Structure 1
């Protein structure tokens, strides 16, 4: 059948959060230029990249590697293979003394440490010893765990990332990119809701030693930063993956190869401040909320509620937020029976006539066939409509 279009004339501002409709600047200035080797600013909900430089160039991730260590272990927890209450016996390989000149949790051989404590040692203290202990507990050996890390990298679409260890100390064959680190950070926030809050903890004490989270932006009151991870080695320079919120908007920034601790923080802050100042993320369609009632033929009902099967977010310059329109494009005439969740077309979002996003348009309810008499009447109506 010929594809039919129904254009929704009303603007979609009413579907957006109240913060989205405030007065906005008329132009969006150029993003800041910072000194890191590579960097990116990404919206969490949409994955849209707002700022980038060398975002796909392989760089040394240093302790940003521990983001994948945390993710893999978290997925094993989700799968029920391990629990956060597990007691882990520390091996010789995971002994803190194996890492004399690098960050560590100060765990000792033969002691028993809960997996949750090791998680804090990994995330807050950036412990290389905790990384090895987690790897051995989850996969049986450090090497097997690295295999899981690389498998998950492929599954998450980290196409320019490879791991050789779970801690990030300089190693040939270990590399990632700002873009891949941003995707991984997005996955941690989305998939590990029980683990992500650990990234906002500013200190942790173990074995009588209190250590402080190296992410100084957690203590910056001008931003609402709640994660994520620092990194440093002599070969990598200073790196920082950060997530922050403003209202319903969450942004992820990644800077890699900065010149100092202060520069990685100031550069991250510049990126985040730019994103929150000049962009907004709005909820264009809510999961299960009708966008329209479409004409339905041959059914018990003459109409069908249609919408999106999931929340659809748009990231836009603030000056464009109140200009969004939705166009519903149907896959021909809708004929019963229709099942809830069935794809019936697509919804296309535009600003000033330019497409900014699209999503599947689905039936939000099931409608059975009507009676024989109803179907005959509708058949004649459809025939007349085709002539007109």
Structure 2
């Protein structure tokens, strides 16, 4: 178990000290990229390893099809459609240009095939069939999608279509795309396998997945490429090795080859330079904290969720963990009450703070007990 140093401090002061640091990426290791926008996240510990113009509005191109797939997966989860449901191909969908699944006019196509058309073949026509099938029109679908993804935390996203077709009012950020990728993986693990399908044949036409990293044997199992003349070449990628998942978003690269090579280089750097360190599991007793006027003199404290941090391998030997709290805890105490926080620091690490909670209930003493406890405090002090 990780040893901690206990510090008596006002929780408000500790929060003020670390709020700014929590929004910063890990900075002990550094790297350059030719991408115009980029972000690399360790999803396992929600740590930003690298970012460049991550909050700059950009044309996401076909990477915004991740939002389209999210909406379809959610409709399936809610029982509004199934993988076997069929949707009609309108002339609007059939005439759509750009990358295509090659849907047939007036045909009715299974949702599962349409999803493969969107995810594997990047079919604009398949996107429109799904959008019209779920919302009546592509515009209505885009409005619903924008509203939903903003609820998921995508603060700088506005979608006006289901395909990523160029439009000045259709924009996202690299950070928003990374959040969306993470939510899709977490919310629909049963459907994430679609993103690792390497090829799909429909209407007699076989097309390969455009994600170049699927073929490099580096643990990448998703997600989506994008390209327009305005935006350049982009990729949202996800990789998993030894239980540790990284999410990368890059955009504005000059060529398909640059997209493939730069994305691979950034992911390899993230795995090589950083590591995830498990500190405490939910239920581990971090320390016994004193209780004021409680039926027991102490209460064990723990973390609400398993706690791991990601930092540069070079910083790990100098990592410090401090328990910051106002002590003693005042009874009554309920299991799960926040009673302090762990503050994790290292020289090149921006800092992380995690709430500490009571691991069990502690009842308040009766009137006589409270009087005796107060008298004891006056005679012996708080640490007696």
Which of 217, 240, 243 matches 2:238?
243
What are the residue-to-residue correspondences of 1:52-131 with 2, within 5 Å?
52-95=51-94, 98-100=95-97, 102-131=98-127
- What residue number does 2:204 align with? 208
Residues 62 and 225 in structure 2, CA contact (< 8 A), matched pair in contact too: yes
Distance 2:382 2:86 in 1: 75
Distance 1:175 1:159 in 2: 11
Distance 1:137 1:385, change over 3 A: farther
CA positional deviation for 1:339: 1.2
2:157 is the alignment partner of 1:161: yes
CA positional deviation for 1:309: 1.3
What are the residue-to-residue correspondences of 1:325-336 with 2, within 5 Å?
325-336=320-331
Distance 1:368 1:28 in 2: 46
2:259 is the alignment partner of 1:264: yes
4+ aligned runs moved over 4 Å, structure 1 = 352-355, 370-377
- What residue number does 1:340 align with? 335
CA positional deviation for 1:152: 2.5
Structure 1 SS opposite 2:381: helix
Distance 1:110 1:354 in 2: 57
2:193 is the alignment partner of 1:194: no
CA positional deviation for 1:199: 0.9
Residues 248 and 281 in structure 1, CA contact (< 8 A), matched pair in contact too: no
Which of 311, 314, 324 matches 1:319?
314
Residues 348 and 355 in structure 1, CA contact (< 8 A), matched pair in contact too: no
Task: Please tell me the root mean square deviation across aligned C-alpha atoms, in Å.
Answer: 2.6
Which of 145, 148, 155 matches 1:149?
145
Which of 272, 295, 298 matches 2:293?
298
- TM-score normalised to the size of structure 1? 0.84
- What residue number does 1:45 align with? 44
CA positional deviation for 1:239: 1.0
Distance 1:190 1:370, change over 3 A: same
Aligned length: 361
- TM-score normalised to the size of structure 2? 0.85
CA positional deviation for 1:167: 0.4
CA positional deviation for 1:92: 2.7
Structure 1 stretch displaced more, 319-328 or 122-131: 319-328
Structure 1 residue runs of 5 or longer lacking an equivalent are 9-26
Q: Deviations over 1:313-345 (max 9, x none)?
A: 322111222433322222332233211111112
Distance 1:122 1:60 in 2: 18
Structure 2 residue runs of 5 or longer lacking an equivalent are 9-26
Distance 1:77 1:382, change over 3 A: farther
